[in-house]
A and B are shown apart, each in its own frame.
Chain A
Amino acid sequence: MSEGVVARLRQRLRHQADLGEVLAGGWTGLGPSELAVRPVYLEGSGTVPLGELFDLRGEPAGRIRFEGDLARADRLAAGLAEGEVIVEGSVGAQAGLGMAGGTLRIQGSAGPLAGAAGPAARRGMTGGELIIRGSAGAETGARMRRGLLAIGGQAEAYAGHAMIAGTILIFGDAGPDVGLWSKRGSVVALGAIEIPATYRYACTYRPAHLGLTLTRLRARYGLPVKKRHFAGRYHRYSGDLADLGKGEILEWTAE
């Protein structure tokens, strides 16, 4: 099986780069030469073709792998609707912004607003799977409507802010105000979390759907799922009761 297209950063980014147009719409049938002409907005230089910043090789196979330090690359895989995107390192802000399908795997950390909604958008990601092996910046998954967002490390403040639906799993510690103003959706905290005052405790139990999700995350993405995550129980908190209140926070407990 072909590894698809590989995009290797030619040299370190000195300014912020907006990659929001690179994988929007259909891209899985495009080869390196076609992807190379997709526009990137480079701070200080204006619009440049992707090929000017990245060396692209390989062949279309529904997958693209980004190599190099992309900490200054924003909006990578924004609007993603298909295929598999793998980022070998960390990325900047708004990765997977409003993505609707496909898979975005970030092997490092992500800046703020990964999987969230754009400034003028009502909804964040509406489908697909966004996997961040490292930590995630503030407001990750804000206003997400559907899909699975997994964070292997810590999540900064306001993860799942105003969620409409979907699932966020946080393997590390969660920052303050997780799930604030959520309507529906699930935030699963496998590390420490401070439950917002507008959530109310319901029960402690073993949700079967988490076994399904954790099995998939371990098998498909190699995330650090432990036996205790399956064997433990979860405190269920309903909220945000200041809004619709049909969401939940599931807090792992060894009890």
Chain B
Amino acid sequence: MNLRGVFIEDTFAEAFTMRVARILITGRSARWAREAALNLTGFATSVIGCKCEAAIERELPLRESPDGRPGISVLFMTMGKDDMGKRLIERIGQTVLTCPTTACYDGLPEAPDRVGVGSALRHFGDGFQISKVLGGERFWRIPVMEGEFLVQEKFGMQKGVGGGNFLILARSADAALEAAEAAVDAMSSRTGVILPFPGGVVRSGSKVGSLRSKTMIASTNDAYCPTLRAVTTSALPEQVNSVLEIVINGTDAPAISAAMRAGIDAACRDGVLAISAGNYNGKLGPHHFHLREIMGGGEPA
């Protein structure tokens, strides 16, 4: 299958079930809402090293803002239920509570699984905190030097999907980066989808385990490293000199499929030779995103 001269490999991205929460952050201005969101989602690229994966989902239109102020929606993902509460308390406590003018709300009110966040952070108020119940939901007003920090008591959590991906195999590093940037632009601000890596792009795709160390759970994906073509079992076609990966997490598989379709379509441009995807032969993750099926040109492998 070719798309504008770019070969779409007959393969699939293999993704995992994760837990996802949607965090809504509002602030006096879009600047401060974004500042808190960027800090909340900093160092949250991969559960391997960060214990969570998170990124900005989109800016909220004012009509969707819980308190009428500029807001940002964040998707926050962990591997298990138990992790979610710990990570949210740590991160919201250190990055949103501390950020001027912000407030923090649950963005998954229908999710039956609820994890306490404000119920723990309220103790920072040292007994001066005030509870308010609105629409059946409890909120905590925590006095801070600036004024008050408002945080919802519980946040919804549901199953999500982490690890959707595709690889851009390009003639040069410049071409790979341009294609990746175009893909990210096409995939950003979609409801239900985040790209947790820097700028939405990964240059260091990994394989499971290591050729030399038994303790490493992941190491460089040597089959896709152009500099190792001559010394390893390479998966790279001729003329490929650079590979970038886009990793996509989401609230559900259809959201990821739709984002991959838009991203791959945007990435198929001059200088790109092929689009591939990372998988573990279907042994590890239950969600399989077949590239040709997603792009409308083939049956599931």
Residues of A within 8 A of B (CB): 127, 146-148, 165, 167, 184, 186, 203, 205-209, 211-216, 230, 246
The residues in B between 133 and 179 inclusive whose CB is less than 8 angstroms from any CB of A are 133-135, 139, 141, 147-150
The residues of B that contact A212 with a CB separation of less than 8 Å are: 66-67, 103, 105, 134, 139, 150
Question: Majority SS of interface residues in chain A?
Answer: mixed
B132 within 8 A of A: yes
Number of A-B contacts (CB under 8 A): 59
A209 touches B141 (CB 8 A): yes
A215 touches B148 (CB 8 A): no
B69 within 8 A of A: yes
Supplied contacts A206-B147, A209-B67, 19 more A-B pairs, CB within 8 Å:
A146-B133, A167-B132, A184-B130, A186-B130, A207-B148, A208-B26, A208-B67, A208-B141, A208-B148, A208-B150, A209-B103, A209-B139, A209-B141, A211-B69, A212-B103, A212-B134, A212-B139, A215-B68, A230-B68
A209 touches B135 (CB 8 A): no
The residues of A that contact B132 with a CB separation of less than 8 Å are: 167, 186, 209, 213
Check A211/B68 contact, CB under 8 A, given A205-B147, A205-B148, A206-B147.
Answer: yes
Mask, B91-127, CB within 8 Å of A = 1, is 0000000000101010000000000000000000000
Question: Majority SS of interface residues in chain B?
Answer: strand
Q: Top 6 A-B pairs ranked by shortest CB distance?
A: A211-B67, A208-B150, A208-B103, A212-B67, A205-B147, A215-B68
B188 within 8 A of A: no
Mask, B56-98, CB within 8 Å of A = 1, is 0000000001111100000000000000000000000000000
The residues in B between 208 and 267 inclusive whose CB is less than 8 angstroms from any CB of A are none
The residues of B that contact A246 with a CB separation of less than 8 Å are: 130
The residues of B that contact A205 with a CB separation of less than 8 Å are: 147-148
Q: Which chain B residue lies CB-closest to A202?
A: B143
With beta carbons under 8 angstroms apart, the residue of B103, B135, B150 that contacts A216 is B135
With beta carbons under 8 angstroms apart, the residue of B68, B69, B134, B141 that contacts A207 is B141
How far apart are the CA atoms of A214 and B133 in the complex, in Å?
14
A209 touches B148 (CB 8 A): yes
B65 touches A215 (CB 8 A): yes
Q: Chain B nearest CB: distance from A168 CB in Å?
A: 12
How far apart are the CA atoms of A146 and B150 in the complex, in Å?
18
The residues of A that contact B105 with a CB separation of less than 8 Å are: 212
